[in-house]
Amino acid sequence: MTHLPGSPARGRFRPVSAAAGFQGLMAGLVLLAICLTGQVAGAAALEKVTFMPQWLPQAQFVGYYVAQEKGIYRRHGLEVKILRGGPDRGGTDAMQNAKADFGTMFLATGIKKRAQGLKIVNIAQTGQRSAFLLVAKKNHGIHTPLDLMGKKVSLWDGDFQIQPRLFFQKYNLAVTVVPQSATLNLFLRDGVHAASAMRYNEYHLLLNAGVDPEELTVFAMADHGLDFPEDGIYCREETWRRHPERCRKFVAASLEGWREAFAHPEEALNIVMKYIMAAGVKTNRVHQKWMLEHMQKVIEPPKSGVSMGFLAPGDYERVAQALLSEQVIKIAPDYAAFYRDVLNHVEKRQSRR
């Protein structure tokens, strides 16, 4: 293996870079065949499926690990193999290269991929709210959005620039954008005035690097009309078409895993820490605890009125419109084509039968 100079401490959130390429669907076809013939096997015959989250093990995906460890998937008749995501692979990669049956992606990424012609469908929108923040230090005189005028702001590349750029647009800000590395060191050393951060991750990493919350000015995208839902579960359209029941089971079990994780956070943390240790990810329990708590705030936002995993058409439209306006996509995919409300859909089918 090649040594990478200046490689970051792993396990910190890193945006998934867009990568082109479409590989064969061999693995998927094999799984399909298994599924087609495996219906009769009963309880003993579990459907084998694979799942790849978009990043290395961390509490951002604790619901899936809990569903696995607590036997929820098996109870739903699935034998799930959770593949490891990471900087070089993730939900997008899994979809594009058929590395897994199911994967997670940001909504914006999902829409973009669909618009680019990747036949994927969103079968559950777990993250209902945006956790995206721009953080700045008050000692640089930044207290309101307008204070960012002319300042250096570091942004992750790709889809992570959509919200901040709309934010700058909204406030007519001209800023110097600097690429943001996998760490916040540039921001910590005052190399930039503001930086991107996820509330459940980078924001807490700042606190754990000795920065006090009082020292920071936080611009939460959600507070500025840019509340884009984030993590969602995706599969290829073909998988959905052939195995709607399998998709339904996976979503139902995964959501149950999330509920279980929120109900028993310490146990969930034990589980996620086990995965983290196995992957050799350098992080700590305190940080994962913070992440779990803040994941709950985006997955089960208070007073949302939306049931867990549902992609609200309004949210979808808002993100699609933003992508259009940023010219990330030229045509927005149809909501109905993009999203499958698998839980209700299957029920409808069953009732029809």
Partner 1 sequence: MRRFTGMSSIMWKNASLAAKLIILIGTATACIFLAVLIYNYQSSKATLLREMQEKVRNLTLKTVFQIDAILNSVEKVPEGVATFLECNCPHNSSLEPYLKQMIRQNPNIYGMAAAFEPHSFDPKKYYYSPYVYQGPEGLQQTYLGGDGYHYFSWDWYLLPKEMKQALWSEPYYDEGGGNVIMTTYSVPVYRLSSNGAREFWGVVTADISLLWLEMIVAKVKILRSGYAFLISQNGDFITHPHENFIMQESIFSLAEARQDPELRRIGQAMIRREEGLVHITDFYTGEKSVLFYAPLPSNGWSLGVIFPENELFGELRVLSLNLALMGFSGLVFLMLLIVVISRKITHPLRTLATTTQAIGHGDFAVTVPETGPREIQHLSQAFNRLGRQLTEYIEKRDFIRDTFGRYVTQEVVKKLIESKDSLQLGGENRELSILMSDLRGFTAITATMDPQEVVVFLNRYLAKMIEILIDHRAVIDEIVGDGILAFFGAPEPLADHPEQAVACALRMQAAMVEINAANKADGFPHLEMGIAVNTGDVVVGNIGSERRTKYSIIGAQVNFTGRMESYTVGDQVLISPSTYAVVRDLVEVRDSFQVEMKGLPEPVTLYDICGMSGPYQITLPDTAHDLVLLSRPLPVRLNRIRDKIVIGVVAESWVSQISLTEALVEFRGGLREWEDVRLLLWDEKGQEIPGKIFGKVVSLNRRAHPNGQARIRFTSVSPEYYAFLYQFIT
Residues that bind partner 1 (CB under 8 A): 1-10, 17, 19, 88, 152, 157, 178-183, 185-186, 188-189, 191-192, 207-210, 212, 282-287
Tell me how far the alpha carbon of residue 202 is from its chain's centroid. Answer: 15
C-alpha to C-alpha distance for 4 and 73, rounded to whole angstroms: 38
Question: For residues 62 and 192, which CB has a smaller minimum distance to partner 1 in the complex?
Answer: 192
Shortest distance in whole angstroms from residue 282 CB to partner 1: 5
Shortest distance in whole angstroms from residue 340 CB to partner 1: 32
C-alpha to C-alpha distance for 45 and 74, rounded to whole angstroms: 10
Question: For residues 129 and 289, which CB has a smaller minimum distance to partner 1 in the complex?
Answer: 289
Phi/psi of residue 84, nearest 5 degrees? -90, 125
Shortest distance in whole angstroms from residue 119 CB to partner 1: 24
- In 3D space, the residue among 83, 88, 115 whose CA is nearest the CA of residue 102 turns out to be 83
Question: For residues 282 and 349, which CB has a smaller minimum distance to partner 1 in the complex?
Answer: 282
Shortest distance in whole angstroms from residue 60 CB to partner 1: 17
Question: For residues 101 and 202, which CB has a smaller minimum distance to partner 1 in the complex?
Answer: 202
- In 3D space, the residue among 282, 126, 270, 267 whose CA is nearest the CA of residue 205 turns out to be 282
Shortest distance in whole angstroms from residue 117 CB to partner 1: 20
Question: For residues 239 and 283, which CB has a smaller minimum distance to partner 1 in the complex?
Answer: 283
Shortest distance in whole angstroms from residue 87 CB to partner 1: 9
Shortest distance in whole angstroms from residue 285 CB to partner 1: 7
Cα atoms in the Cβ-side hemisphere of radius 13 Å centred on 340: 27
Shortest distance in whole angstroms from residue 208 CB to partner 1: 4
Question: For residues 189 and 330, which CB has a smaller minimum distance to partner 1 in the complex?
Answer: 189
Question: For residues 50 and 288, which CB has a smaller minimum distance to partner 1 in the complex?
Answer: 288
Round to the nearest angstrom and report the end-to-end CA distance of the chain.
55
Shortest distance in whole angstroms from residue 284 CB to partner 1: 5
C-alpha to C-alpha distance for 32 and 245, rounded to whole angstroms: 12
Question: For residues 124 and 182, which CB has a smaller minimum distance to partner 1 in the complex?
Answer: 182
Burial per residue of 113-137, b for 16 or more beta-carbon CB atoms within 10 angstroms, e otherwise: bbbeebebbbbbbbbbbbbbbbbbb
Question: For residues 97 and 224, which CB has a smaller minimum distance to partner 1 in the complex?
Answer: 97
Give residue for tokens 């996620």. 272
